[in-house]
Amino acid sequence: MSLFVTLEGGEGCGKSLQAKMLYDWLCRQNIPALLTFEPGGTPLGDEISHWLKWREDSNITPLTELLLFNASRSQLIADVIKPALAQGKVVVCDRFADSTTVYQGYGRGLDMDTTLAINRAATGGLTPHLTILLDMPPDEGFDRKWADKYDRFEKEKAEFHQRIRQGYLKLAAQEPARWVIINATQSKEDVADAIWEQVSRLLPGRS
């Protein structure tokens, strides 16, 4: 049975670590799995990611961000995610379309109907079976990061990151059947256990 699991959250919440821990756990259980991430995951996506996150000299507008993130996403779905799901794998993705809804919609203030429409066009309607929100106050997330390694988004003002957190919580409230909120201020082991509990419920014979 294929399963599509995404991890979402603000900066410093531990998404990448937890995605890797979940993938390793699945592999130890001999469950076919694939780990990927956004933006990136393909040669084209990696180049787009570099432009979006690290090019200080480029004046990228919010609409351009929206289109570039979705260009990367479309390629990732076609080249990586859909083939893995077709093979019956559990796909674990560090960020997906909800990140764009939150960062470009709630964060940048783009029209939400436009944001969602472009997201739908890029995903072709592909929706995760389970989305895990690793929630924590933005200031606590930034305490975990090195200030000299901030990307364009991490350098935004505190108000931007507060809007990100509230946007995620709104999305989770709108789709409680898909979203699970986990307190990311816990130890990494406790967070990993909570994630595994949620994912294992969706695996055949493991409920």
Residues of the chain with pLDDT under 70: 57-58, 142, 145-148, 205-207
What domains are there in the chain, each with its CATH number? 3-200 (3.40.50.300)
Q: What is the pLDDT of residue 51?
A: 82
The C-alpha atoms of residue 135 and residue 181 are separated, in whole angstroms, by 7
Long-range CB pairs of 42-51, under 8 A, 24+ apart, other chains included:
42/72, 42/75, 42/76, 42/79, 42/80, 44/71, 44/72, 44/75, 45/72, 45/73, 45/75, 45/76, 48/72
Measured between alpha carbons, how far is 35 from 161 in angstroms, rounded to an integer?
26
Q: Which pTM does this prediction carry?
A: 0.93
Per-residue pLDDT, 205? 66
Q: What is the pLDDT of residues 130-148, one digit of tens each?
A: 999 999 998 887 677 665 6
Cα–Cα distance list, 57 to 28, 30, 168 (Å): 44, 46, 29
Q: What sections of the chain are H helices per DSSP? A: 15-28, 43-54, 62-76, 82-86, 97-100, 112-123, 138-142, 158-174, 188-200
Task: Output the six-digit token pair for 14.
Answer: 């531990």
Can you give the pLDDT at residue 207? 47
pLDDT at 42: 94
Q: What are phi and psi of 182, to 5 degrees?
A: -120, 135
